Structure 1
Amino acid sequence: MKDEKKAPKLRFKGFTDDWEQCKLGDVFSFLKNSTLSRSELNYESGKFKYIHYGDILTKFGDITDTRNFSVPFVTTPEKVIRLEKYFLQNGDVVIADTAEDSMVGKVTEIQNPDPFPTVSGLHTIPIRPNKEFAAGFLGHYMNAPFYHDQLFKLMQGVKVLSLSKSAVIQTKINSPSYCEQRLISRMINLIDGTITLHEEKKRQLERLKSALLQKMFADKSGYPAIRFEGFDKAWEERKLKELGDIQTGNTPPTSDSDNYSLDGVLWVTPTDIKSLVISNTAKKLSQVGVTKARIAKAGSILVTSIASIGKNTLLRMDAGFNQQINSLTPTSENDSYFLLTQSEKWSEKMKQIAASATMQIVNKTEFSNISTYVPVHKEEQEKIGSFFKHLDDTIALHQQKINNINSVKKSLLQKMFI
């Protein structure tokens, strides 16, 4: 029977031939994977590198250059001979066959497995193409929507999803000429490289922020290690209740729909706290709901105090919030962004309080009595707050660029693959 021919919506100029379609089992051989235990692995040294399904789900992209990734080494000498038949080669593809969500079926294409031979480990399906594909094409293609969507109806399980070899072997693979494969792969590699660049810049800024948080805020000595010029007085110890008004939120009855509306006042729950400054919430309060809620004023810092302890955000507008959150509305003598930045240190103390209690909770009294150190002059608070705001904005900018580029990539994968 003649193979079905297809073509994608978006192509490089000069390519018009339809893509060839075939079953995965017709163009791939299934390799054996290793089932070594964690006790036989080591991150420091050894003879072989070992790819676990968790590495594919959380660490690896479409392509894995094993020279650039920290993966466990196999260290047990007596396993050497047994592992030789499992060595991966350039162009081999490793499929994660287990996950707790739809990430099951994510793949990575192996590149440069030398100088340390690499083996595919627990809960993986390693496969090897029987014909030549352009470097990187398979990794990009098999993570793209057309191919990955085929796997959804093949998944088994409820809480933990899994794929079998017998299911994967029936999936369909479409591919163009080698030349077109190479152009597609190069373009997506360029996009991935740009994403990686912004991710690394973001990580560097986050590491810088972490270091500066330790040096620009005073400890028990009352003096920070790094200060802005013109400030030399010791910081003063204060309890949070001395820095502003503290409230614990509440929940207007959700059974009464009159308390909520689509375009009302923000109503914050812990799941809404995803960034340092909050701008939107899943639910909003109606004018009726506002009268039943506890409202924190713009400039307040919200801190989660039950279960997910110490998630912090700053309000730019008045908002209600639920009983899992405490708010601190700074007095006029204190700077909101300074306190928001410092709240990362409050969180550390809150987690200690919660860890010593029967329930994971920091009540209003405990929250109010957390002690911290603040500058004598508000001007120093404002300089520190402004500095960290600029740093946070730059980190957020890189994250936004990452999100935008990922959106472009997602759109291209939908249009350039079939």
Structure 2
Amino acid sequence: MQTKKRKSPSLRFRGYTDDWEERKLGEVGKTKSGIGFSDAQQGGKQGTPFYKVSDMNNPGNEVVMMNANNYASDSQLKENKWNPINPQNSGVVFAKVGAAIFLDRKRIVDTSFLIDNNMMSYLFDSSWNRYFGKTLFEKLRLSRFAQVGALPSFNGSDVEDIKVMIPEESEQKMIGDMFEKLDDIIALHQRKLDLLKEQKKGFLQKMFPKNGSRVPELRFSGFADDWEERKFFESIASTIDFRGRTPKKLGMDWSDSGYLALSALNVKNGYIDPLADAHYGDEKLYRKWMSGRELKKGQVLFTTEAPMGNVAQVPDDNGYILSQRTVAFETKEDMMTNDFLAVLLKSPLVFNNLSALSSGGTAKGVSQKSLKGLSITVPLDIDEQQKIGSFFKHLDDTIALHQRKLDLLKEQKKGFLQKMFV
């Protein structure tokens, strides 16, 4: 039995009850593909914006307007007989060839522009509210309509044949305005998060010695002694590493709840993401796996590969299973604090040295054997270590808070996209 197609969304603004109208995109707008241009024709700083697929590298669709890295001058336009695209209302641009299609990223443009031949634009006609249209394109997931072959691609007719449901203009405006405000809030939180990360990067540069130096540029008052150079494992009592261990090798399996497994996918920089690659073990699996090596609050976790170098700390004493591509360090308390170690592993010099010691092609990895060759420079005074560790721990907590807020906003937007469009 065929399901009757819905003609209105499940969540609407008060006062709107009429069915939405089904239209092909080609009936209410038009597509236009880009042009080829050589490297020598790129790099202008003013003129008509020239967009390429690389301009879509920033993830997500929250950035409303495209930011151009290249411009074409009037003389270039004339010499090459290029005709800029002139949207009457505005247009959405997206990748039309290659793997970039599957990133499903769109950007909106409302001034004259050029795009390269790996991109396509869809120009809204005057019946669209531009922000409603931009948000509808986010909901569409254009990658579903790509011609899949050796090189996935769209052509104009592929896009123009897509059927969409569209409300009257006043409802479009209500929806568009709401999503524009939501995107502005998301962008604001993203900027705050980016600023905090840049501040942390700056402090890491200044609060740890550079190569060949024994003192950092920036220190807490009351500390003036040189730092000491030593081998990494001189400060480590033991390393907990269950490389290769899986539930099946223990004759068991994951559960729907219980003790969270910590892997290279959910150990992020500065925090644990319980939603990423979430696997759980029951009491029996936890005891069999972790017996005698239980993780304690504050212990430093380090991802050894894919990705290499993420650092977080065990957040509490609730019990966790140490899983794939992640190790935990137990420090010698009289030589190094956990909080300081967590920061030290992310300091520029140590991270660069770790990268130099790592092996592998695309997915770099570092082993315990290679860690034996790692030299570190640390303050002998444990009080100085504690101050540095506490400072960065507070900063990391603030970054994690903003990250959670941002993730929540994006999840809310995803929910609204599902409920406010047909």
TM over 0.5: yes
Aligned to 1:256: 249
Instruction: Report the equivalent of 1:182.
Output: 173
Question: Please, which moves more after superposition, 193-202 or 361-370?
Answer: 361-370
Equivalent position amino acid for 1:338 in 2: F
Report the Cα distance in structure 1 between the residues aligned to 2:279 and 2:360, rounded to whole angstroms: 32
CA distance in 2, matches of 1:403, 1:254: 30
TM-fit CA distance, 1:88:
3.3
Asked whether the equivalents of residues 195 and 405 of structure 1 are also in contact (C-alpha less than 8 Å), the reply is: yes
Q: Say whether the 8 Å CA contact 1:88–1:119 is kept in structure 2.
A: no
Q: Which amino acid in structure 1 is aligned with residue 134 of structure 2?
A: G
1:198 aligns to what SS in structure 2?
helix
Bigger shift: residues 209-218 or 71-80: 71-80
Counterpart-to-counterpart distance in 1, 2:82 and 2:92: 18
Q: Secondary structure at the match of 1:179?
A: helix
Larger CA deviation: 236-245 vs 382-391: 236-245
Tell me how far apart the structure 2 counterparts of residues 160 and 338 of structure 1 sit (CA, whole Å).
49
**Aligned-partner Cα distance in 1 for 2:264–2:63:** 36
Partner Cα distance (1:328, 1:45) in 2: 50
2:271 matches 1:277: yes
CA contact (8 A) 1:53 1:122 kept: no
Distance 1:245 1:376, change over 3 A: same
Q: Map residues 240-389 of structure 1 onto 2, 5 A cutoff.
A: 240-247=232-239, 248-252=241-245, 255-256=248-249, 258-262=251-255, 267-278=261-272, 280=274, 282=279, 284=281, 285-290=285-290, 298-306=297-305, 308-316=307-315, 317=317, 321=322, 324-333=325-334, 334-345=336-347, 346-354=350-358, 361-389=365-393
Q: 1:370 to 1:320 in 2, by over 3 A?
A: farther
Shift, 1:152, TM fit: 5.2
Distance 1:305 1:411 in 2: 35
3-state SS of paired residue (1:386): helix
Structure 1 counterpart of 2:164, one-letter code: I
* Residues 24 and 162, structure 2, Cα contact 8 Å, conserved in 1: yes
Distance 1:93 1:81, change over 3 A: farther
Give SS of 2:237's match: strand
Q: Structure 1 counterpart of 2:309, which letter?
A: G
What is the CA–CA distance in structure 2 between the aligned matches of 1:58 and 1:127, rounded to whole Å?
20
For structure 1, which segment, 398-407 or 319-328, has the greater mean C-alpha deviation from structure 2 after superposition?
Answer: 319-328
Superposition deviation, residue 199 in structure 1 = 0.7
In structure 2, C-alpha distance between the alignment counterparts of 1:223 and 1:158, rounded to whole Å: 58
Greater displacement, 384-393 / 157-166? 157-166
C-alpha separation in 1, matches of 2:182 and 2:152: 30
Determine if the alignment matches structure 1 residue 140 to structure 2 residue 135: yes
| 1:336, distance to aligned residue in structure 2 (A) | 0.8
Preserved CA contact (<8 Å) 1:107 1:142: yes
Q: Distance in 2 between matches of 1:53 and 1:193?
A: 24
Which residue of 2 is the match for residue 205 of structure 1?
Answer: 196
RMSD of the alignment, in Å? Answer: 3.2
Which residue of the other structure, out of 395, 412, 420, is the alignment partner of 1:416? Answer: 420
Q: State the 1:99 CA deviation.
A: 5.0
Query: How many angstroms does 1:343 deviate by?
Result: 0.4
- Counterpart of 2:27 in structure 1 is 26
User: After superposition, what is the alpha-carbon deviation per residue over 1:322-356, rounded to whole angstroms, capped at 9, x for unaligned?
Assistant: 68445431112221111101101332211112369
Unpaired runs of at least 5, structure 1: none
Counterpart CA distance in 2 for 1:273 and 1:5 is 42
Query: What amino acid sits opposite 1:55 in the alignment?
Result: D
CA distance in 2, matches of 1:226, 1:239: 23
8 Å Cα contact 2:264-2:304 kept in structure 1: no
Matched, 1:237 2:219: no
Separation of aligned partners in 2, 1:100 and 1:294: 44
- Give the corresponding residue for 1:168: 159
Instruction: Classify the secondary structure of the residue corresponding to 2:330.
Output: strand
Instruction: Give the letter for the 1:47 counterpart.
Output: G
Q: Which residue of 2 aligns with 1:227?
A: 219
Provide the identity percentage.
Answer: 26
Distance 1:71 1:322, change over 3 A: same
Deviations 1:40-89 (A, max 9, x none): 221x52432112234336367366434xx243223695453545423232
Q: What letter corresponds to residue 352 of structure 1 in structure 2?
A: A
Q: Which moved more, 1:337-346 or 1:23-32?
A: 23-32
Secondary structure in 2 matching 1:311? strand
Q: Find the counterpart in structure 1 of residue 36 from structure 2.
A: 35
Query: In structure 1, what is the equivalent of residue 84 of structure 2?
Result: 86
Q: SS of 2:23's equivalent?
A: strand
Quote how far apart the aligned CAs of 1:8 are.
1.9
Deviations 1:262-297 (A, max 9, x none): 256555443332242337553644433335x97665
Change (3 A) 1:214 1:411: same
Tell me the number of residue pairs that the alignment of Structure 1 and Structure 2 aligns: 402
Q: Secondary structure at the match of 1:31?
A: strand
State the Cα deviation string for residues 284-320 of structure 1 (Å, max 9, x = none). 44433335x9766553323334564323232345656
User: Aligned partner of 1:214: which letter?
Assistant: Q
Question: Following the alignment from structure 2 to structure 1, what is the Cα–Cα distance between the partners of residues 187 and 65?
Answer: 14
Does 2:125 correspond to 1:125? no
Q: C-alpha separation between the residues in 1 aligned to 2:81 and 2:138? A: 28
